[in-house]
Structure 1
Amino acid sequence: MLAVNVAMLTGVFFNTVVTQPYLHYPYIHLLVDYHFGFARRALVGALVSLFTDQIPVWLVFALGGGMWFITAVLFTLLFRRTFGLGRQQIPLFLLMAGSPFFLKNFMHSLGYLDIYGCAAVISLLLAPARSMAFIIFSAVASIILILIHHLHFFLYVPTIALIVVIRYYFVQGLTRQGAFVGAVAVLALCAVFTAAQFFGRMNVPAPEFVSYLQSRIADASRADLPHFTHAFAFLWYRPLSKDIQEVWAHLSSNIACAPVFAVLIWLHKPLWRYFGDLIRALSSDRQRRFVIFGIILISAAYVPIFVVAIDYSRWISNWTVCLFLILHAVKTLPASHDVWPIQAEDSRTQAFGWIITCIPRIGIVRPW
């Protein structure tokens, strides 16, 4: 299964780089910076502009590939620290790392901004959480994610909040100082999101903005790139109401994919069963109830995303990845008894594992 997953990843990588099916979205995000003032979705482009004014196409795949590699390495380190990487843990590792929701889908959407949130969550799971510096670091990471893309406020920031509670407040307790720092962090995140969502639109005429973006294109021989910048510059002008209208226009086709998503999630049944066993094994009823409540809140946070953005495959994939990462945090909590790892010898588990392994990706808007 591991060999097939590697082959799948290689095939998805070459397909993404050669055919460039969704180049327009990540490429225009590298063109946009803070040249005209504060703007949403502009932090990555602003950092790139510190080093170069001309953006070649290969930079999309270089940055995306580098971020994917860092995320894959961090996840492997996290899994090894949480569960180990012996023979007994390999089935669990393959159900996570080989899931079409996770690394394979991030490879398909190479250059997109979702993976930054995933990498940030994994980093926080690996970082020490013995002082309030962990809360501050988590807040700073969350602010950076919101500046990268404001939807991270719903996409990965709620997962970060749950991890902070599990890793810091469950261990250190809720002190007056800790509560104050946490409250300030929440207020700061809400303020940054509000600024990005409602005050991050471009204030210059669209032709001027498009002209600036086209001046940053390095591949002058490609006639499609100026077309992309002209076609997708509306992302920095469109109000929230227009986003909602677009979702409603595609709602019937997206809802029609719900059974497919349900089956794909069900195929991870051995993993969900193990996750449930870990939660039930927690020695503290308070912690068990809070973890369940946190998962419900994280799931509820995805509802606004489904209302304002049509990329349902991406959102389902990221929600699943959040559950994978929360599982690691739950494993660190005190348990009343040991939970048996997923058994490789079970025939049903093997069947689920092979089906998951052979699915190359989930997609961006709709399955595949």
Structure 2
Amino acid sequence: MTVRILQNPWRLLLAINAVVIVGVFVHKVQLPPYVPYIHLLVDYHFGFIKRALIGAVVALFTAKVPVWLVFALGGATWLATSALYARLFQNTFGFTARTLPLFVFTAGSPFFLKNFMHTLGHFDIYGCALAIILLLMPAGSLLFVATAALFSIILVLIHHIHLLMYVPTIVTIVVIRHYLAHGCNRTNIAFGAIALVAVSALFLAAQFLGTMPIPEADFVGYLKTRMADPSRTDLLQFAYIWYQPLAKEISDTWGRLPHNILGVPVFALLIWLHTPLWRFFASLIGALASDLHKRLVIAALIGISLAYLVMFAMVFDYSRWISNWAVCMFLILHAVKMLPAARETELIPAEDRKTNISGLVITLIPRVGIVRPF
């Protein structure tokens, strides 16, 4: 029995991942939710401002926001995203003994669901969830393109940095699933172009016109009226982000760069541990029936990576950015699998010793973090 588990440990690794996720959740609920909580308080009471959509939706249902709502809302979103990804994996690859290594390297990656649990309440996961929905829904009509545009608008209203974080991945999914799979014509190209312009214009409005129009002291005073416990003033210490200009964010990021850049070797090691997955992804691209599809997929991966490079230069939450970059790669992998292939791609081997070791290591890593590794 022991020898069999060591040779094919993937079911055991899934069970270990589940235990690790529970541990991360128990640890997370004991930490003060500084940034996630204040996002539930901010709404459109003073007009159009950035980062206010989630708070505005919460305001429709409750006038007073308890702290526990961060974990309830974040936990429900995490569960929904996990279920959506399980459904996506089932649709794309199916759940068999042969596909379990691939599932462990994606769903069990410290970049993915485990790190979303660590960042519970942050806005990153919404981009992932909406991108998965686009991978699951029919893509043959302009309704698909319109839905993608709507999702992108929602994400920019949640936080404008989604224009770099998940909108490029959504655009790639639309190109692969609609334009490459169903063809291009004047109507759908024009519709897509208008959608891109609209989302970009909204981003510029949020970035440069979405600053809070009242003094910070008055803003904080209003937030206290939304709190279930106004004495928790420690949870309002990040109110300044609704006043901070882009130049200040970039300045802070570059000021922290010498220290934060020390985490890059750790990120590189984490990426290297996923080598069996990257090899499979490369083989999947190489197996595509069309050379044009291959070139466009590679260009999209470069474009998504460049968007994250811009984020690295602007905002210093490096562990979150590298984790979401990896998640975007996982999602594009599923989109690529939906394209016509000239041959079948061999899955990640289930009984290879080096692959098993890599799978065990990434399973035991509980998360990547928010700013610095771990």
Q: Establish whether residue 59 from structure 1 lines up as the match of residue 69 from structure 2.
A: yes
SS of match in other structure, 1:250: helix
SS of match in other structure, 2:206: helix
Q: What are the within-5 Å matches in structure 2 for residues 107-122 of structure 1?
A: 107-122=117-132
Question: For each residue in 1:292-331, what CA deviation from the matched residue of structure 2 results, as whole angstroms up to 9, or x when unmatched?
Answer: 0000000001122112211000000000000000000000
Q: Offset at 1:253?
A: 1.1
SS of match in other structure, 1:257: helix
Inter-partner Cα distance in structure 1 for 2:184 and 2:194: 15
- Out of 185, 197, 207, the residue aligned to residue 197 of structure 1 is 207
Inter-partner Cα distance in structure 2 for 1:325 and 1:65: 21
- Out of 70, 82, 88, the residue aligned to residue 78 of structure 1 is 88
Q: How many residues align?
A: 362
- Out of 290, 293, 307, the residue aligned to residue 287 of structure 1 is 293
Inter-partner Cα distance in structure 2 for 1:227 and 1:280: 52
Inter-partner Cα distance in structure 2 for 1:120 and 1:13: 23
Inter-partner Cα distance in structure 1 for 2:69 and 2:329: 31
Q: Offset at 1:75?
A: 0.1
Q: Establish whether residue 268 from structure 1 lines up as the match of residue 274 from structure 2.
A: yes
Matched to 1:186, the amino acid is L
Paired residue for 1:8?
A: 20
SS of match in other structure, 1:201: coil
Inter-partner Cα distance in structure 1 for 2:110 and 2:181: 34
Q: Offset at 1:227?
A: 2.7
Inter-partner Cα distance in structure 2 for 1:147 and 1:57: 22
Question: For each residue in 1:18-63, what CA deviation from the matched residue of structure 2 results, as whole angstroms up to 9, or x when unmatched?
Answer: x215x10000000100000001000000000001111000100000
Q: Offset at 1:264?
A: 0.3
Inter-partner Cα distance in structure 2 for 1:76 and 1:171: 23
Q: Establish whether residue 20 from structure 1 lines up as the match of residue 59 from structure 2.
A: no
Q: Offset at 1:172?
A: 1.8
- Out of 350, 353, 362, the residue aligned to residue 347 of structure 1 is 353
Identical positions, percent: 56
Paired residue for 2:55?
A: 45
What is the root-mean-square deviation of aligned Cα atoms in Å?
Answer: 0.7
Q: Offset at 1:233?
A: 1.0
SS of match in other structure, 1:129: coil
Question: For each residue in 1:83-115, what CA deviation from the matched residue of structure 2 results, as whole angstroms up to 9, or x when unmatched?
Answer: 000111011001101000000000011100000
Q: What are the within-5 Å matches in structure 2 for residues 189-228 of structure 1?
A: 189-220=199-230, 223=231, 225-228=232-235
Inter-partner Cα distance in structure 2 for 1:316 and 1:337: 32
Paired residue for 2:337?
A: 331
Inter-partner Cα distance in structure 2 for 1:306 and 1:28: 24
Q: Offset at 1:169?
A: 0.3
Paired residue for 1:232?
A: 238
Inter-partner Cα distance in structure 2 for 1:342 and 1:281: 15
Question: For each residue in 1:128-163, what CA deviation from the matched residue of structure 2 results, as whole angstroms up to 9, or x when unmatched?
Answer: 001011000100000000000000000000000000
Matched to 2:17, the amino acid is N
- Out of 250, 253, 257, the residue aligned to residue 256 of structure 2 is 250
SS of match in other structure, 2:76: helix
SS of match in other structure, 1:256: helix
Inter-partner Cα distance in structure 2 for 1:353 and 1:278: 20
Matched to 1:12, the amino acid is V
- Out of 303, 311, 315, the residue aligned to residue 309 of structure 2 is 303
Inter-partner Cα distance in structure 2 for 1:131 and 1:227: 49
Q: Establish whether residue 179 from structure 1 lines up as the match of residue 189 from structure 2.
A: yes
Inter-partner Cα distance in structure 1 for 2:82 and 2:259: 32
SS of match in other structure, 1:327: helix
SS of match in other structure, 2:122: coil
State TM-score, norm by structure 2.
0.96
SS of match in other structure, 1:111: coil
Mark the runs of 5 or more structure 1 residues left unpaired by the alignment.
none
Q: Offset at 1:174?
A: 1.2
SS of match in other structure, 1:105: helix
Question: For each residue in 1:274-301, what CA deviation from the matched residue of structure 2 results, as whole angstroms up to 9, or x when unmatched?
Answer: 0000000001000000000000000001
Q: Offset at 1:219?
A: 2.3
SS of match in other structure, 1:86: coil
Matched to 1:173, the amino acid is G
Paired residue for 1:152?
A: 162
Mark the runs of 5 or more structure 2 residues left unpaired by the alignment.
1-12
SS of match in other structure, 2:94: coil
